[in-house]
Amino acid sequence: MSTSPITGVSESAAQELEAGLRELGITVRDNLIPQLLHYLELLNKWNRSFNLSGVTDVNDMVALHLLDSLSLSPYLRGERFVDAGTGAGLPGIPLAILHPEKHFVLIDSNGKKTRFLFQVKVALKLSNITIENCRIEHYQSDEQIDMVMCRAFSSLEDTVLKTRQLLTRGCVLLAMKGRFPQQEVDQLPPGYAVTAISKLGIPGSESQRHVIEISRRE
């Protein structure tokens, strides 16, 4: 199996990433593919010791991590985003690579995971990310947050309750889910409502995927 001359990731993974980006309709900058592959290489390397992801095959990570995260790109509105419970930097890191003009605050309470994120920030020279090692419910921002996003974080009710200090007027929660969680929608706390639901098609993955937007009621 050949590898990319830029990273230790296989050439087939690079080809799958390029094809997936085209399928998602994402315009590729010259340095986008190498940066995303470099992130994947770091994730694969650190995963062996830090248990950052349950996905252990780097080829599987292309669809299940990179393309899955980047599928959120068309739904981003604004300039400043919080990634709640970011874990290994998903979806925040791939989106920060794709959108250097936007700022992403990556929050996780696990010190091992935030140490990995600092390594990624330095290695990829990502000046548009801030890393916070804390519980999301304790995070306060001096600046307006346009969107809070989460992927495989918690139930919708729990997520809203833990991020409500950020969900001020004009701030939207973007929650990535698998099958449409009707029961979770029905259990949203008073004062919050689903404002949009979109079904995602992730290249290379047959799993169901939805993105759900939640806002405070006027």
The domain limits of the chain are 63-216
Q: 202-207: which pairs have CB atoms within 8 A and are 24 or more residues apart?
A: 202/63, 202/67, 202/68, 202/71, 203/19, 203/20, 203/23, 203/24, 203/63, 203/67, 204/16, 204/20, 204/62, 204/63, 204/67, 205/63, 205/64, 205/67, 205/68, 207/178
- Report the residue count for the chain: 218
Element (H, E) at 151: strand 147-151
pLDDT at site 152: 80
Decide if domain 63-216 falls under CATH 3.40.50.150. Answer: yes
Q: What local confidence, expressed as pLDDT, does residue 8 receive?
A: 59
Q: At what angle do helices 111-124 and 32-50 cross, to 10 degrees?
A: 150
Range in 114-118, 195-199, 204-208 the model is least confident about: 204-208
pLDDT tens for 96-107 read 999 999 999 999
- What does the mean pLDDT of the chain come to? 92
Q: Which amino acid is at 5?
A: P
Residue 159 is classified by DSSP as H
Q: Which tokens in the block code for residue 91? A: 């979806």
pLDDT digits 0-9 by tens, 174-200: 999 999 999 999 999 999 999 999 999
C-beta neighbour count of 25 within 10 angstroms: 8
When pLDDT is averaged across residues 32-38 and rounded to a whole number, the result is 94
How is residue 8 annotated by DSSP?
S
Amino acid in position 48: R
What separation in angstroms does the CA of 98 have from each of 93, 153, 161, 191, 215? 9, 22, 29, 33, 25
Model pLDDT, residue 5: 44
Q: pLDDT tens across 54-92, in order? A: 888 888 899 999 999 999 999 999 999 999 999 999 999
Instruction: Give backbone dihedrals phi and psi of 111, rounded to 5 degrees, phi first.
Output: -60, -35
pLDDT value at 1 more than 60: no
Which pTM value belongs to this model? 0.93
pLDDT at residue 174, rounded to an integer:
97
